[in-house]
């Protein structure tokens, strides 16, 4: 800690910070543009000028840039100094010379950092008498709108896009006030993190295109803390709603998980909530005729079906713990299965086993960023867990940055750090079936089939610890990575192994476990990051329920209750269809119309993640709660509320007499001790309305007019009996508890930059502690667990191709596909082959290939996939057309005749 003096007042601040960070941490207002907590300082905008004094007697002082000045003991500065104020005022005057008169039609208005800073500095009149320079805009894809006139050349966009997120299609062109931030030519921004430009850009150059056509000011949005449901990482989000329509998703800072950024799937994949295919009313179907019925009638019917006996419940990996538990209570633990196939269930069991007692830690994304050697085994993280990709991109800079430390350059001095790093990357080894976006920064990459990747993993583990069984010989092209990777991991102090369920081969997961186990014999800080397919896969795995194959073909099944089915993979779809085909009664709780809901006898409209409260467990077993953003219309209600009513109807009031989420979680933790800690996640409202957190900002508008055309009486807003929040602007005016932060706003800070006021320290934990609970935080691990035995390489079958799932950020997750932008970016169904195999089949890109799986033939257009091993054919996972194919692993291919 060092002492600094601001306006003569003494403060203790942490060593190694820059002055800007320190004064913001202390709560002072100091304008800035080019500095960003995740990107560091470059001192480009000259906006954060302060006066620095030599000692207490010095009254003259000198102007310094706060973001480029390290804090030092006894440092004396003044922010309000007249000269410094005049300097800052002049700077913003210059920055504004070319800024257009656009605020009324700019989507950034109302949450614009430039607006805030201009007001903070007091600049109100343009003194530049000459004409403004203008730029032409570019088409940047379905997500991002470009309005280059508004640029103040802070360079944050390219520093984020290129330096931080590793993109290379956004760049800066031109010189002086003609600089242009954009692509070489019009086109889609390729980075999966392009949406963050909306938040990174301090003004309205990059704005959210999906929200542009029906723009809403930030102050009018009703928001609540939520979670991203589109992958297993559990990123924290802030969805915003107005007039019953979900309008946008913004990032919610979590010190350990997503921190400052979101991926484009998470940011733009929310529109399924507003889909015309949303189920709104309970429906009973008889003789092919669907009738809308009242909620009570639907509950009666389902209760009658359950009472008749022979009902099984199919849980979901995309539903909350609460919904799954309510279903389990309704049908009984022994008749409750998880809606996944046998292969995936085996994966999830392995993941759960690793979480429970593996000597290596499951790292949070922040811990991933700290890793100094990374091995990715089989997983295409960019497409299955995008934020993990971003974290790994930071991790590979750790070794090159050691030199920065040696030079005594502070870590926040971004320009110097980049200069010293000079595009070097630390050890990153990638073994995947197809090329990945991370290949560019990898030390070495290999392409191999999943079984080979698994054997490669075992080979690496064997070098680290000889106790691992020998996996046998590897092809030379693959084997060359073994030595370097093993050495790099062994030398590291915080090695990281990344694997997951993405390859669909359990052996890969086991091999990764073996490597991490071997490493942790030597290195205590070994981390093993596992990627799971769905937002609650781990939570579902902790139910220890059997999978769909357990009830396949059973005779005693009369009725099936399906909870929010996610039929993304071929295996899941086939397994579910096999069960549904045999059932007399099918009941579905879901939010979207689907082929399952079309065949159901009773359809109950379930609330989406944004319309109810619940708990999800992410890939590192962090249980986090999401909160209702808005009250759904029609008869939509939370799945567990439906199931509770059915349960009480069928088995009596006492069978599910939970009054609220606290009761429910208490019951759940009593039955499933592993989920015990989640009891502590449920906040209890204090006495009185002032202890509740308002979901609307204090500036929300139109209250007496927005519904005036329907009723002049201004109905009371819905009351929230599940969370200590309100659906209005009324409530506690103070700082909310960390897990209930519904918006970032602080006096004078209307943009997302107000976030600094919600952190314990900049870049640290959320003020009051990061929300969520690690389930296995205090596990005791027996370090001497056994290694998994190596798997056998499947014998290549003559004339058949091994099918490998290929993941796509846009496309592999079906709910996000309801967003028009995501659907536009998603690939059409295809079959991927490498060059040689294409030659063998004599096909050209676009030709139709006949694919025969499990003796059923389909036609798919062929597409060249780089690096795919020979004998492997890639199928894009999760695309609706692909998910309908049979689940077999092998396929016969035939080119066009």
| Contact set with other proteins (CB under 8 A) | 100-105, 109-110, 131-137, 147, 149-150, 173-176, 178, 180, 182, 212-217, 219-220, 243, 699-706, 708-709, 712
**C-beta of 242 vs 808, nearer to other proteins:** 242
Least Å from the CB of residue 217 to other proteins: 5
In 526-620, beta strands by DSSP E: 527-531, 559-563, 585-590, 602-605, 614-617
Shortest CB 372 distance to other proteins, Å? 40
Question: Do residues 382 and 389 make contact, with C-beta atoms less than 8 angstroms apart?
Answer: yes
Helix axes 506-522, 450-464, angle to 10 degrees: 10
Q: What secondary structure does DSSP assign to 610-630, as a single string?
A: TSS-EEEE-TT-EEEEE---S
By C-beta, is 687 or 709 nearer to other proteins?
A: 709
Q: Which CB, 112 or 330, lies closer to other proteins? A: 112
CA distances from 164 to 260, 261, 423 (A): 12, 11, 12
Q: Give the HSE-up count for residue 202: Cα atoms under 13 Å, Cβ half-sphere.
A: 27
Beta-strand pair 428-432/180-182 = unpaired
Residues 6+ apart with CB under 8 A from 299: 642, 645, 646, 649
Shortest reach from residue 310's CB to other proteins, in Å: 50
CA 7 to chain centroid, in Å, comes to 42
Q: Which lies closer to other proteins via its Cβ, residue 220 or residue 379?
A: 220
Nearer to other proteins, 433 or 694 (CB): 694
Measure Cα distances from 512 to 443, 489, 515, 792 in Å: 19, 13, 5, 16
- Least distance (Å) between residue 203 CB and other proteins: 12
Nearer to other proteins, 27 or 748 (CB): 748
User: Closest Cα to residue 892, out of 801, 830, 828?
Assistant: 801
Tokens of 462: 């064997």
Task: Give the chain's largest Cα–Cα span.
Answer: 92
Q: Which phi and psi angles does 454 have, rounded to 5°?
A: -65, -45
Q: CA nearest 434: which of 877, 884, 774?
A: 877
Which residues, in sequence order, are bridge partners of residue 589? 563, 604
Single out the residue of 435, 431, 439, 438 nearest to residue 484, CA to CA.
431
For the bound state, the minimum distance from the C-beta of residue 131 to other proteins, rounded and expressed in Å, comes to: 5
Name the residue nearer to other proteins (CB basis): 149 or 443: 149
Min. distance of Cβ 455 from other proteins in angstroms? 51
Which of 151/330 has CB closer to other proteins?
151
Q: Are 447 and 432 in contact (CB under 8 A)?
A: yes
How many Å apart are CA 208 and CA 205, to the nearest integer?
A: 10
Q: Quote the least distance from Cβ 133 to other proteins, whole Å.
A: 5
What are φ and ψ of residue 375, in 5° steps?
-125, 125
**Do 468 and 490 meet the contact criterion of CB atoms below 8 Å apart?**
no
Burial 799-811 (b: 16+ CB within 10 A, else e): ebbbbbbbbbbbb
Shortest distance (Å) from residue 216 CB to other proteins:
7
Rounded least distance, CB 418 to other proteins, Å: 24
Judged by beta carbon, residue 54 or residue 173, the one nearer other proteins is 173
Cα→Cα distances 382→147, 272, 426, 872, Å: 28, 22, 18, 21
- In the bound state with other proteins, the residue whose beta carbon lies nearer, of 320 and 696, is 696
Cβ closest to other proteins, residue 128 vs residue 840: 128
Report CA-CA distances (Å) from 266 to 110, 250, 387, 621.
23, 9, 10, 20
Closest distance of CB 176 from other proteins, Å? 8
Give 100 or 680: the residue with its C-beta nearer to other proteins: 100
Identity of the residue, 657 or 701, whose beta carbon is nearer to other proteins in the bound complex:
701
d(CA 537, CA 812): 16
- Residue ranges of alpha helices (H) inside 169-320 are 197-200, 264-268, 295-307
For helices 321-331 and 639-651, the axis angle rounded to 10 degrees is 20
In whole angstroms, the minimum distance from the beta carbon of 695 to other proteins comes to 16
- What's the token pair of residue 510? 């086991």
Cβ distance to other proteins smaller for residue 61 or 110? 110
**DSSP single-letter state for residue 63:** E
User: Are the C-beta atoms of residues 76 and 52 closer than 8 Å to each other?
Assistant: yes
Pair of tokens at residue 26: 């202390």
> Which of 212/690 has CB closer to other proteins?
212
Count Cβ atoms below 10 Å from residue 28 Cβ, excluding itself: 18
Nearer to other proteins, 129 or 406 (CB): 129
CB of 201 to other proteins, least distance (A): 16
Minimum distance of other proteins from residue 864's CB (angstroms): 32
Using left for φ > 0, alpha for ψ between -120 and 50, and beta otherwise, residue 876 falls in beta
* Backbone torsions φ then ψ of 365, nearest 5 degrees: -60, -30
Give whichever of 243 and 493 is closer to other proteins, judged by the CB atom: 243
> Closest separation between CB of residue 266 and other proteins, Å?
25
Q: Burial of 114 by CB count in 10 Å (0-12 exposed, 13-18 middle, 19+ buried)?
A: buried
**CB-based contacts of 651-659 (< 8 A; 24+ apart in sequence):** 651/330, 655/329, 656/326, 656/329, 656/330
The total number of residues written for the chain in this structure: 897
Residue 8 or 702: the one with the smaller Cβ distance to other proteins is 702
Minimum CB–partner distance for residue 124 and other proteins (Å): 14
CB of 213 to other proteins, least distance (A): 5
CB of 321 to other proteins, least distance (A): 37
What is the nearest approach in angstroms of other proteins to the Cβ of residue 709? 6
């Amino acid at each position: 800690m060092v002492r600094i003096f601001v306006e003569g007042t003494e403060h203790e601040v942490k060593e190694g910070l820059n002055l800007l960070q320190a004064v913001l941490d202390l709560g002072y207002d100091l304008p800035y543009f080019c500095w960003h907590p995740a990107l560091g300082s470059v001192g480009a905008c000259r906006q954060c000028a302060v006066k620095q004094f030599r000692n207490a007697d010095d009254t003259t002082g000198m102007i310094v840039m706060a973001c480029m000045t390290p804090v030092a003991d006894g440092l004396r500065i003044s922010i309000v100094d007249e000269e410094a104020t005049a300097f800052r005022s002049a700077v913003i005057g210059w920055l504004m010379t070319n800024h257009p008169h656009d605020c009324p039609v700019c989507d950034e208005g109302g949450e614009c950092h430039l607006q805030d800073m201009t007001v903070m500095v007091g600049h109100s009149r343009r003194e530049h008498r000459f004409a403004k320079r203008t730029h032409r805009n570019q088409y940047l894809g379905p997500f991002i709108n470009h309005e280059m006139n508004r640029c103040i050349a802070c360079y944050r966009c390219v520093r984020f896009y290129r330096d931080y997120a590793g993109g290379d299609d956004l760049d800066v062109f031109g010189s002086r006030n003609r600089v242009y931030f954009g692509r070489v030519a019009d086109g889609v921004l390729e980075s999966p993190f392009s949406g963050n430009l909306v938040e990174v850009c301090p003004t309205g150059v990059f704005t959210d295109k999906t929200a542009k056509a029906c723009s809403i000011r930030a102050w009018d949005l009703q928001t609540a803390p939520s979670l991203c449901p589109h992958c297993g990482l559990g990123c924290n989000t802030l969805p915003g709603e107005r007039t019953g329509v979900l309008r946008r998703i913004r990032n919610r800072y979590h010190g350990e998980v997503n921190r400052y950024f979101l991926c484009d799937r998470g940011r733009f994949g929310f529109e399924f909530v507003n889909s015309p295919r949303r189920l709104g009313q309970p429906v009973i179907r008889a003789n092919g005729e669907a009738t809308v019925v009242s909620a009570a009638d639907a509950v009666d019917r389902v209760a009658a079906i359950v009472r008749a006996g022979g009902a099984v419940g199919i849980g979901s990996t995309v539903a909350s713990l609460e919904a799954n538990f309510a279903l389990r209570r309704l049908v009984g633990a022994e008749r409750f299965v998880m809606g996944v196939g046998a292969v995936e269930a085996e994966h999830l069991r392995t993941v759960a086993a690793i979480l429970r007692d593996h000597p290596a830690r499951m790292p949070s994304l922040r811990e991933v960023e700290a890793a100094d050697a990374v091995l990715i085994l089989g997983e295409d993280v960019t497409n299955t867990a995008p934020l993990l990709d971003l974290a790994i991109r930071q991790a590979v800079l750790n070794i090159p940055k050691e030199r920065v430390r040696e030079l005594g350059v502070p870590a926040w001095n971004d320009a110097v750090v980049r200069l010293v790093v000079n595009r070097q990357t630390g050890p990153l080894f990638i073994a995947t079936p197809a090329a990945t976006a991370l290949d560019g920064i990898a030390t070495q990459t290999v392409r191999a089939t999943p079984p080979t990747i698994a054997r490669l993993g075992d080979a690496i583990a064997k070098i680290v610890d000889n106790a691992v069984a020998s996996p046998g010989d590897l092809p030379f092209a693959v084997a060359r990575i073994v030595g370097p990777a093993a050495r790099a991991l062994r030398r590291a102090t915080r090695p990281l192994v990344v694997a997951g369920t993405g390859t669909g081969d359990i052996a890969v997961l086991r091999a990764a476990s073996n490597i991490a186990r071997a490493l942790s014999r030597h290195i205590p800080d070994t981390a093993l990051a596992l990627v799971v397919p769905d937002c609650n896969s781990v939570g579902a795995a902790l139910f220890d329920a059997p999978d769909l194959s357990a009830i396949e073909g059973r005779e005693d099944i009369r009725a099936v209750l399906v909870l929010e089915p996610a039929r993304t993979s071929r295996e899941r779809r086939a397994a579910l269809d096999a069960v549904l085909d045999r059932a007399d009664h099918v009941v579905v709780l879901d939010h979207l119309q689907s082929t399952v809901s079309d065949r159901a006898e009773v359809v109950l409209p379930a609330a989406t993640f944004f319309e109810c409260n619940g708990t999800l467990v992410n890939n590192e077993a962090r249980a986090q709660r999401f909160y209702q953003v808005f009250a759904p219309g029609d008869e939509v209600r939370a799945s567990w509320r439906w199931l509770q009513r059915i349960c009480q109807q069928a088995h009596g009031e006492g069978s599910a007499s939970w009054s609220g989420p606290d009761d429910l979680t208490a019951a759940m933790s009593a039955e499933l001790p592993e989920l015990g800690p989640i009891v502590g996640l449920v906040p209890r409202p204090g006495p009185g309305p002032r202890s509740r957190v308002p979901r609307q900002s204090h500036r929300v508008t139109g209250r007496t007019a927005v519904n005036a055309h329907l009723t002049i009486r201004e109905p009371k807003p819905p009351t929230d009996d599940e969370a200590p929040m309100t659906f209005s602007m009324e409530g506690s005016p103070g700082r909310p508890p960390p897990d209930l932060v519904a918006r970032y706003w602080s006096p004078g800070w209307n943009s997302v930059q107000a976030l600094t006021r919600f952190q314990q320290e900049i870049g640290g934990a959320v003020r009051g502690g990061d929300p969520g609970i690690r389930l296995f935080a205090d596990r005791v691990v027996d370090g001497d667990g056994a290694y998994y035995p190596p798997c056998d390489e499947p014998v290549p079958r003559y004339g058949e191709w091994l099918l490998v799932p290929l993941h796509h950020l846009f496309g592999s997750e079906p709910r996000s596909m309801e967003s028009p932008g995501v659907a536009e970016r998603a690939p059409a169904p295809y079959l991927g082959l490498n060059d040689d195999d294409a030659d063998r089949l004599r096909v050209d890109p676009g030709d139709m290939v006949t694919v025969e799986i499990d003796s059923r033939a389909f036609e798919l257009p062929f597409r060249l996939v780089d690096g795919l091993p020979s004998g492997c054919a890639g199928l894009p996972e999760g695309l609706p057309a692909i998910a309908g194919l049979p689940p077999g692993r092998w396929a016969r291919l035939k080119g066009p005749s």
